[in-house]
Structure 1
């Protein structure tokens, strides 16, 4: 049995939905950490690196499968999520490294800045989740 392009698109969309939901729900409790311990920033950094890898692969697969299914708008939407994920990884991880170094140096301004960045990432992930949920209506 071979999967039709439409079914592959649905499969990869559901995978992207699962990855995004799992990491979104997993990142919210991390806000309770005080972030005054270098281990906190390292853990959150590795958490997001894992998310970005999985989300990028799932979004690219969804984009390609939407293209084969003849749904160019959804293909571009999934491609946009992949691009945003890649850009967020570059920007967010670099900033996390910077703030992590400041936290290790006991610079108190780094903790609120790290938390603000973390909240921004959660908001962006929530927006991506809504976009993914919206695409499910096309099936």
Structure 2
């Protein structure tokens, strides 16, 4: 068994823990009224941290799976890293814009922010499902 198997497992567990933690941590934030600019800034920084950490964990998983010779899993982890970058580029500017609209009391801004927040959590859930499915597939290969 090549030595790259160990970092692959470490990065996979890290991705599972990170994704689960931020999903479970983001759900209670939906309780916030989001009517204060501080709420929007906090939620935005919460997702910003998630996207950064998830990117590096997925990149590490992709590299270690590639070194192990598990190219399908390397491709999957690289796809997760790419999706994370795309989500970060899509959601964070939208949250920033809606946060400034909340600050200026624009009608409907709070509802739009809550929708973006909920959508980000749904995508996070989808990522977690893919990670669990991939982990099950990996366990079957042994």
Interval of TM-score (by shorter of Structure 1 and Structure 2): over 0.9
Distance in 2 between the 1:100 and 1:37 partners? 8
- Superposition misfits of 4+ residues, deviation over 6 angstroms: none
Aligned residue-pair number:
137
**For structure 1, which runs of at least 5 residues remain unmatched after alignment?**
none
Shift of 1:8: 1.3
The equivalences for 1:88-103 within 5 A come to 88-103=87-102
Q: Secondary structure at the match of 2:30?
A: helix
**For structure 2, which runs of at least 5 residues remain unmatched after alignment?**
none
The equivalences for 1:1-139 within 5 A come to 4-137=3-136, 138-139=138-139
Shift of 1:108: 2.4
Q: Secondary structure at the match of 1:28?
A: helix
Q: Secondary structure at the match of 2:85?
A: helix
Shift of 1:35: 0.5
Distance in 2 between the 1:69 and 1:57 partners? 18
Distance in 2 between the 1:38 and 1:63 partners? 37
TM superposition score normalised by structure 1? 0.95
Instruction: Give the RMSD, CA atoms, in angstroms.
Output: 1.0
Shift of 1:7: 1.7
Q: Deviations over 1:73-107 (max 9, x none)?
A: 11111111100100111111100111011000101
